[in-house]
Amino acid sequence: MKNDDMKTIVADGYDRIADDYLGRFGQSSVRDAKLAEVLEKLPASAMVLDLGCGAGEPAARELVAHDFQVTGVDASLGQIMRARQNVPKANFVHADMTAVQFPAEGFDAVTAFYSITHVPRNEHEALIRRIATWLRPNGVLVASFGSSEGDWLGQWLGTPMFFSHLDPDETKRLVNDAGFRLEQAELLKQDNEDATFLWIAARKS
């Protein structure tokens, strides 16, 4: 299957399972800790781009509550409609994160919680490079990636779903090569499922 087919499977899937996803995975102490780290790194009134924002919970809601200016992007219209209801003070864009356009150096931080793991892995390099262009110098990237290389296509929460991961060392290399300074790279087991992700915190050089 082509990458576009995989992306359609993912977006259509989240249209179907948006509420079930939030019910099952809306709480995570791992994501809460990473979100807290993001909050500590940001200057007042920072502009934050949340890629794969889902229903705006909890990331966009929490960032707005701390007076940051938040733009969320999601490929699922169902997720974006929920996010607009849940977090009216944020700006939400219905788009594929690998194709959406933003001005250069328009954001202080980019977050991506459990979302790049749905992007076909042969597009990760270009995506990370695009993220670097959207960030101001010294801007922050905090994102989760897969912990072992491979693709997975199957039934997940009752709908067809696709996941795609690079080897963690390859992800770290791509982040470095895109012009980031790696501040943290750690493999963390989820508290709410039997899964481990690579968490990256990096600053644009």
Ligand X SMILES: C[S@@+](CC[C@H](N)C(=O)[O-])C[C@H]1O[C@@H](n2cnc3c(N)ncnc32)[C@H](O)[C@@H]1O
Residues that bind ligand X in the complex, under the rule CB under 6 A:
7, 10-11, 14, 25, 31, 52-54, 59, 73-76, 79, 96-98, 113-115, 118-119
Which residue lies nearer to ligand X by CB, 20 or 169?
A: 20
Which residue lies nearer to ligand X by CB, 72 or 168?
A: 72
Helices (H), strands (E): how many in the chain?
6, 9
Smallest separation (angstroms) from ligand X to the CB of 43: 23
Smallest separation (angstroms) from ligand X to the CB of 66: 17
Which residue lies nearer to ligand X by CB, 115 or 147?
A: 115
Smallest separation (angstroms) from ligand X to the CB of 28: 8
| DSSP code string of 17-53 | HHHHHHHHHS--HHHHHHHHHHHHHPPTT-EEEEET-
Smallest separation (angstroms) from ligand X to the CB of 86: 12
Smallest separation (angstroms) from ligand X to the CB of 175: 18
d(CA 133, CA 9): 28
Distances (CA, A) of 103 to 90, 100, 169, 193: 18, 10, 30, 37
Which residue lies nearer to ligand X by CB, 181 or 190?
A: 190
Backbone Cα Rg of the chain:
15
The amino acid sitting at 72 is G
Smallest separation (angstroms) from ligand X to the CB of 13: 8
The amino acid sitting at 143 is A
Which residue lies nearer to ligand X by CB, 150 or 205?
A: 150
Q: Which residues contact 153 (CB under 8 A, 6 or more apart)?
A: 1, 6, 9, 160, 161, 162
Which residue lies nearer to ligand X by CB, 71 or 79?
A: 79
In which element (H, E) is residue 149 found?
A: none
